[in-house]
Amino acid sequence: MKIPSPVGEVKKGSPALSRYVINTHHLLLSDELEDVGRSSIVVEDGFIVDIMDKWVSNSDFVFDAVLPLPVNTHVHLSDLRIPEACIGLDLPGYVGRKGLKHPLIRLYREPLLTSVSLNKLSILYSVGDYQELPDTCSTYESSLESIDTIYIGLSRPLDWWSTGMDELLSIASNCGGIGVSNPTVIPSWMLEPLARVSRLYTVSAHVSETRKMERVGGLHYLLDHGVRLKHVVHGVFLEDWELRRLADEDLILVINPRSNLWFTGRIADVEKLLMYGGEFAFGTDNAGCFSLDVMVEADLFYSLKPHISPKQIIKGLTINGAYALGLEPKTIELGREAYMLGVVLGLPGGRTWNINASIVKRAPYSPKMVVFKKDSIYIFDRIRQM
């Protein structure tokens, strides 16, 4: 039975979804993301019950490629409430402690998310939100729960100088973790409590986004005091030995190409990070105020770094993003829950010289994408909208 497909409509638990079959030209299987080619996938009651190396007749969907769902590892969802307030400002002027953003997000609270933003977030397995206002985390979480996207709020005390262990724990448990916007504003006596929280929850930090942040050494300030970071964000000006330290400590570097270019005109030295065995993931950061599409970030990144393998970029978008937020990646494997992204890429008969490059370059502009999350299916059909 075909599933009705108004754009973005959520279908939960209807009889039509108890079983569906997908034919695809390319399938990125398991955590290896190995393309096993022409395949069919059978899903029953939200679980992958069969994967065959051939197409079956009467499938419900046909795609060029099926891959794990992307993760937007670093956003500031508060930006969405004050559209274009960032225009014409530099980084301190917009997000600094005296920046325009902070009074505005207290002034304009509702709505936290528009239906368009929610629709965009439904493509994701998870989103990591640096949330400036910890008391809004539960509202974001329930909004995203309605679209089966896991919300990891990485928030922080409003004032590091007048907080304590209890407040840190309360924020981390209500939101999902702690996101340190500027490590060196944390007074030294709060590092030990933060280190303890980092053993229980995801803790992350902006590091080396600007030359000034690199000079003051926020990364080392945290690591040398025992704070276990799951990931760090930006790292634009990190030096050789620091990139090696990220790799040695299994710290994922979250890059935000549009935002990094916007504010500093460059992005991190990812080639060197990879050389040391490190890993990276993607976020939209403040550029997310215009578009939350993390696949656009991957496309831009590949244009800037054409020698990095597109398969590595897809790993960054999917598997690494999940690990960076402290989640188990939802890879595509027999017997596992069905979390998948099916994309139509416009490939002739599914033919391509490099399927990973086709996904990175074409998926952001795909005429049709379908998101599968167990028994929920979200259909994005740009052709039908025209």
Residues that bind Zn ion (CB under 5 A): 285
CB of 289 to Zn ion, least distance (A): 11
DSSP state of 117: H
71-75/368-373 β-pairing = unpaired
Nearer to Zn ion, 64 or 285 (CB): 285
CB of 169 to Zn ion, least distance (A): 23
Neighbours of 269 (CB within 10 A): 19
CB of 81 to Zn ion, least distance (A): 16
Q: Which of 92, 329, 299, 326 is nearest to 206 (CA)?
A: 92
What is residue 138's three-state secondary structure? Answer: helix
Q: Which residues pair with 66 in a beta bridge?
A: 27, 342
Nearer to Zn ion, 256 or 320 (CB): 256
Nearer to Zn ion, 141 or 285 (CB): 285
Two tokens, residue 278: 């490190």
CB of 286 to Zn ion, least distance (A): 6
Two tokens, residue 336: 């596992």
DSSP H helices, the chain, are 91-95, 101-107, 115-121, 137-145, 165-175, 191-197, 211-216, 218-223, 240-248, 257-264, 270-275, 294-304, 310-317, 319-324, 355-362, 382-385
Nearer to Zn ion, 66 or 219 (CB): 219
Nearer to Zn ion, 206 or 228 (CB): 206
Residue with tokens 């393309």: 35
Nearer to Zn ion, 214 or 285 (CB): 285
CB of 293 to Zn ion, least distance (A): 17
CB of 130 to Zn ion, least distance (A): 5
CB of 30 to Zn ion, least distance (A): 31
Q: Compute CA distances 150 → 137, 214, 336, whole Å.
A: 12, 32, 18
Nearer to Zn ion, 35 or 285 (CB): 285
Residue with tokens 């051939």: 54
- 252 touches 230 (CB < 8 A): yes
Nearer to Zn ion, 285 or 297 (CB): 285
Nearer to Zn ion, 132 or 269 (CB): 132
d(CA 127, CA 167): 23
Q: What are phi and psi of 349, to 5 degrees?
A: 60, 25
CB of 198 to Zn ion, least distance (A): 18
In DSSP notation, 277-342 reads T--EEE--BGGGGT---HHHHHHHHHHH-TTS-HHHHHHHHTHHHHHHTT-------TTSB-EEEE
Ranked by CB distance to Zn ion, the top (closest) residue is 285
CB of 338 to Zn ion, least distance (A): 32
Nearer to Zn ion, 86 or 343 (CB): 86
CB of 262 to Zn ion, least distance (A): 12
d(CA 187, CA 206): 16
d(CA 299, CA 284): 12
